[in-house]
Structure 1
């Protein structure tokens, strides 16, 4: 997911809130095999994600999947001489809180890397804090292109050498959605509604560019607030425009009720969104039959490469499902762990001064992961551009198309 807000600095008043944020910290370490030497101590794999609040279903899946990767690595004595510990920090899907969480992790020299964030607006606050300490950040879910290449995609420039992601970006996801909705589903009159945040706004812009190129007409453009609950005013305007589909840029807490209220007002057209609405909670909150969403990667439960991950996650009996980004978090954590093992070798002793080498090793990391091939280009973006269109059918999401996207 994403957001393109001005880069945030951590104000002194914000730093005073660190202790409060700490009440949401979650730790997990797993058990090492009896033969593992852990005499050199602990190394931390951090997580920054929304662990409470309206999108916590996604954040908890990210945290649990990271914990799984840590537990498996410890069982295999993956990092010689050390026990890995997962430390989760709740960013509450809020940039300032994310900055607090990043500052806490950045102050710890034993942190080898951070899995996160989910929201791109939060990433913009977190990136400079972790980069200042050369701490690698591997996101399972940020999709806004500017995080890696800057705001001018025509003249891309890498923003932070320490930042990577294992998911495709919105300049692929938006066009992929538009091609499906306009060319395959035949929707030619589309209303755009966004929540005004970086992710939703940016994704809708990418969708709009391709949709108009594909021959559609954007008949109305509206904005709602992420905390709004009554959309009657906006939907009345949308209805007057007579669209045959609505494209929503935002997340499921708004998208579900928006879809239901549209139908209640007699606007019985499909609502489509991006990965931000691809969660069962969208349906629970009012998402209707026929609604559509795109999400990165192929369906986890259908990927042969993900079967071991799904089996291991299920065996852990986590309270929360792995959700849309659990498999991606698992791959992100393994990129950090494997690259740490490579950096240290069999006899190395960790020091924060080794982070430059660690970042370099993550940049050259390749593997067959739960989500398929894992690797990074010279901007830190995923080399895997697979995307899937899902449709609500029988009260749940069903994959209807999977393919490799082009921007």
Structure 2
């Protein structure tokens, strides 16, 4: 009997530290994809394995595990990393070793603007999502002036800068632009200094969004709270924000994929995920779909007799696959951005995110 060839998919994600819940969900969703793919991949004569390593949201640790992936010839592609700073640090290593990299969640424009020919972004970019939310705020909510609060991280700085650029492009004004440190929880003085003339507060960052919003409502600052997809997160924003998310003008939070049920197949996957790990809280659908896209490229390379990294990369470049994250087929533009990606906008209702627009 012919033995199936082992093909590994490296998965780099934060499994320790503050980002661990997000990394675990990414890992678990990708793992489901590999398990399910193995039920059909034998037709291509291969056996798939997910090899997961913890990058701890640390660029140096990311580089260390990137070399470990790259040194194993059985690793044919990478899913990762969760965070922009780690992914930007590791992409050159993967390029040097001809390893295809598919980033399910990373939104920093530099990922596909740096000339790395092995990189593919599954989600939308910060400049694209910023343009979507600013048009909505101006056209649908008739907002004109904003206070911007930015957490000083790679993601927070990128999302905030892109919002400011897009906001000014549609005629909006920025009254103040504040920077806060990652991990900050005391926003009393900051909110006390907010101008009453602003129509909204835009927050670019992740973990500081909930305490900022709660302080706004405590001080009866009831203007709209708008945020990037760092706050499209049940565990780190929705739950700790509590009723603050529905007080005053509420919130509008963007995401780089539609909510569960808007795309065929996403509800079925969510049920499979929940049976094993509990409810989806973040980008599990993107992680599953990105991994299945890599699986299809590996199987295509096997059928062509080109089951090496360069062969997988060639098949990945030509992918045209209908998944469950987006309504149209996954295809890459010349930079490696996914032309199927969309931006969704959500309010909070009844303790849940509720999609109000898809752009």
The answer to whether TM tops 0.5 is yes
State the match for 2:317 in structure 1.
Answer: 363
Name which of structure 1's ranges 296-305 and 105-114 shifts more when overlaid on structure 2. Answer: 296-305
Q: Which runs of 5+ in 2 are unaligned?
A: none
Q: Is 2:333 the counterpart of 1:377?
A: yes
Computed over aligned residues only, the root mean square deviation of the Cα atoms, in angstroms, reads 1.9
Match of 2:12? 48
Report the Cα offset of residue 124 of structure 1.
Answer: 0.8
Q: 1:28 maps to what in 2?
A: none
> 1:218/1:265 Cα in 2 relative to 1: closer, same or farther (>3 Å)?
same
Shift of 1:241: 5.4
1:128 equivalent to 2:92? Answer yes
The 2-side partners of 1:215 and 1:161 are apart by 36
Aligned to 2:184: 228
Can you list the C-alpha shifts for 1:249-279, whole angstroms capped at 9, x where unaligned? 111x210111001111222222111111101
What's the counterpart of residue 270 of structure 1?
Answer: 224
Q: How far, CA to CA, are the matches of 2:82 and 2:13 in structure 1?
A: 6
2-structure distance, mates of 1:298, 1:288: 20
Secondary structure (helix, strand or coil) at the match of 1:367 reads: coil
CA distance in 1, matches of 2:92, 2:279: 31
Alpha-carbon distance in 1 for matches of 2:21, 2:43:
30
- State the SS of the aligned residue for 2:322: strand
How far did 1:79 drift? 6.2
Alpha-carbon distance between aligned partners in 2 of 1:165 and 1:98, rounded to the nearest angstrom: 18
Give deviations 1:232-256, integer Å, cap 9, x for gaps: 232222x2454221101111x2101
TM-score relative to the length of structure 1: 0.81
Whole-Å separation in 1 of the counterparts to 2:180 and 2:322? 40
Q: Residue 23 of structure 2 aligns with which residue?
A: 59
Encode CA deviations 1:169-198: one digit per residue, 9 max, x unaligned: 111100111111222112222100001222
Following the alignment from structure 2 to structure 1, what is the Cα–Cα distance between the partners of residues 2 and 177?
Answer: 57
Q: Any conservation in 1 of the 2:134–2:166 contact (CA below 8 Å)?
A: yes
Per-residue Cα deviation, 1:93-150 (whole angstroms, up to 9, x for no partner)? 2222222221221121111111111211111111011111111110110111111113
State the TM-score, normalized to the length of structure 2: 0.92
Q: Secondary structure at the match of 1:366?
A: coil
Residue 24 of structure 1 is matched in structure 2 by none
Q: Report the alpha carbon displacement of residue 323 of structure 1 after superposing the two structures with TM.
A: 3.2
Alignment of 1:286-365 (within 5 A): 286=241, 288-289=245-246, 290-314=250-274, 317-345=275-303, 348=305, 350=307, 354-365=308-319
Aligned residues: 351
State the match for 1:102 in structure 2.
66
Give the counterpart of 1:248 among 198, 203, 219. 203
Partners of 2:118 and 2:313 within 8 A in 1: yes
8 Å contact kept, 1:62–1:322:
no
